[in-house]
Amino acid sequence: MDCRRVAEIISGARDGEQVPAAEVVQAQQHCAGCAECAALLATIRRMDAVPSAQAPAALVERILAAAQAEADARLDAQAAAERTAPASGILAPLTAARPRTQRQRPAWWQPRFTAYATAAVVVLVVSAASTYTLVQMTRPMSPAPAEDSMQVASPEMFATDEAAGAADASAPAAAEDARALSAPAPAYVAWDGWVWMRVDGPAPSPSDLATAGTTVSDLGEPGGPVDRTVLTATSDRAAIYVQAADGTLMRFTRVVRTLGMREYALAADGSLATFGAWPSLPPVYATPTADDGSPTFVRQGFEDRSLDIYVPVGTDATRGFALAPGTPQGDPAAGNPYWTWWEPVD
Amino acid sequence: MVTHAMSDPELVAAAAAGDQAAYASLVKAHVDTVYAHALRFFGNAHTAEDATQEVFLKVYRSLGSFDGRARFSTWLYRVTRNVCLDMVRAGKRTPLPVDPVTLEPLSQADFADDIAFTEALETALRALPPEEREALNAVTLFGLSYAEAGHTLGVPDGTVKSRVFRARRALASLLRDAEGGVSDGLPTRG
């Protein structure tokens, strides 16, 4: 047995590797007559015996104080937002109202749909206590220009809603803020319940491609949205391909963000039939009427970019989370004026 | 109420629900590990403290997103590694590798003292190639398995294993030299 193998055995055994007993005995015998391997064994034992560098006690106090200060600042900001701009949380979703198209859900959606539908019923019952919410719920799901939304959010609407308080005072400014946040979406298509964004990448060979389904999109071309065949490649399972009119294969990948080492992808609410259109919440979730996500969601924590995430009342982020509009530049949802839903990518 | 019997996932859940005492317990349980990694990475106590504070603030902000699918120590290692690398990328800090020749020989008596041994060990650790030091820290400081470390570092398990044992052989040789023993030079790599 040479020194390298002995080092592997000693090192691996220390780290919990399964080593045959006979090899351990051989390694021990080797160490008895080899100064270098004996030194290695002694060093490993000594390293485990001595404590690692210890953080100064004052550092722990600083960390805890900083965390407390951050928690306090968040609470203060929340309270200030509730005091000064109650209308912003109400108007933003209204200006976000837009037509939603029904789509064919893939098979995996059916069991989820039952659960989501149940949750939606609960939310609707709770919401019935609010006159404003009732009116909101009975609005037809049809295109609503910003002016129309502004009209719906008139002071009269909030007259019987105690929670809305002085909503009318800041309504115009809030609507302006919501519009200012908006920007054209990247080149998106919707397929299989997810939003896919066009990205550059190598074109797979034709023999590697297989038809996976269809989507409706204009692909940014004249003529409007039409049915498009969606192709997948066995060599690139992270992407889908859609063929443009000139034969070019456009490559798309999911729009993702991470939360606790897990990847979450943007869920599609409809067909996203034109490039530049933004997705919003899937229809099973009522658009929140306040910045804090209520009555549909509650704030649950932060994703890896430290953005607030929201989950349906009584659940956690295991099955997904919502994100409020207004995410900063560089975020995958930057410029989207709508609430969005993100689900884990299995 | 936080008790010592609470596991890391339980502490995380409690802290995410707003229990500051649970968060304090998490910090106290892992602060030395994070600090030791940062100290080995930067070679500077002040920078290591900055990095450690940043790590635990990131953890604090992300408590609600920890879903327990991975061990907390694996998550913490990833956050720690990313914070250190981000500080370097931002140009604010520079890792300080130490050349083996700067190791001052210590007497046998000095090495009987844990503090002296630890100092020599920490200095020798900084002389290791970064990839070996990273693998060794992941396994020995954070207690990750080869598979967990490999997943985080983006290399196969076997690569982690070989980096760790090469690091240990190098350390043993460096410490023997520093101790005043016969110098055989660094073990052959590869």
Contact A15 B65 (CB under 8 A): no
Cα-based distances in Å from A293 to A209, A262, A299, A323, B141:
42, 23, 7, 9, 41
ipTM of the shown complex: 0.84
Rounded Cα gap, residues A41 and A44, in angstroms: 5
Rounded Cα gap, residues A307 and A328, in angstroms: 9
Rounded Cα gap, residues A336 and A115, in angstroms: 27
pLDDT of residue A78: 73
Contacts B66 to A, Cβ<8 Å: 260
* A to B CB pairs, distance under 8 Å: 154
B60 pLDDT band (50/70/90 cuts)?
Answer: very high
Taking only the tens place, the pLDDT of each residue in B88-130 is 877 766 665 555 445 454 445 456 677 788 888 888 887 888 8
Between A141 and A206, where is the model more confident?
Answer: A206
Residues in chain B: 190
What are residue B135's phi and psi, to 5 degrees?
Answer: -65, -45
Token duo for residue A92: 């933003």
**Three-state secondary-structure class, residue B133:** helix
pTM: 0.51
Mutate which of B34, B142, B168, B179 to test chain A, going by most A C-beta atoms within 10 A? B168
B57 pLDDT band (50/70/90 cuts)?
Answer: very high
Contacts A66 to B, Cβ<8 Å: 53, 57
Partner residues linked to A321 by β-bridges: A342
Least confident of A25-29, A133-137, B57-61, B145-149: A133-137
- Measure A251 CA to nearest chain B CA, in Å: 26
**Kind plus residue range of the DSSP H or E element containing A254:** strand A249-254
Contact B176 A46 (CB under 8 A): no
The residue-averaged pLDDT of A270-277 equals 84
- B54: pLDDT strictly greater than 90: yes
Q: Say yes or no: B151 contacts chain A, CB-CB below 8 A.
A: no
Contact A12 B34 (CB under 8 A): no
Contacts B67 to A, Cβ<8 Å: 259-260, 262, 316-318
Rounded Cα gap, residues A30 and A37, in angstroms: 8
Nearest alpha-carbon partner for B72 in B33, B37, B20: B33
Handedness of CA B45, B47, B50, B53 (dihedral sign): negative
How high is the mean pLDDT of chain B? 80
Alpha helices in chain B (DSSP H): 8-16, 20-42, 45-61, 72-89, 108-112, 114-126, 130-136, 146-153, 157-178
- Measure B104 CA to nearest chain A CA, in Å: 18
* Residue entry with tokens 């055989």: B184
Nearest by CB to residue A67, choosing from B31, B60, B146, is B60
Q: Say yes or no: B28 contacts chain A, CB-CB below 8 A.
A: yes
Rounded Cα gap, residues A212 and A241, in angstroms: 10
CB A346 within 8 A of CB A318: no
Between A282 and B4, where is the model more confident?
Answer: A282
pLDDT of residue B97: 53
**Three-state secondary-structure class, residue A263:** strand
Contact B33 A52 (CB under 8 A): yes
Q: Say yes or no: B176 contacts chain A, CB-CB below 8 A.
A: yes
- A290: pLDDT strictly greater than 90: no
Q: Least CA distance to A55: which residue of chain B? A: B32
Angle at alpha carbon of residue B116, lines to B115 and B121, rounded to 5°: 95
Rounded Cα gap, residues A319 and A322, in angstroms: 11
Partner residues linked to A322 by β-bridges: A310, A341
Taking only the tens place, the pLDDT of each residue in A202-214 is 888 888 888 888 8
- B138: pLDDT strictly greater than 90: yes
Between B127 and A324, where is the model more confident?
Answer: A324
- Measure B62 CA to nearest chain A CA, in Å: 5
Nearest by CB to residue B31, choosing from A36, A60, A309, is A60
Token duo for residue A255: 């729009």
Residues in chain A: 346
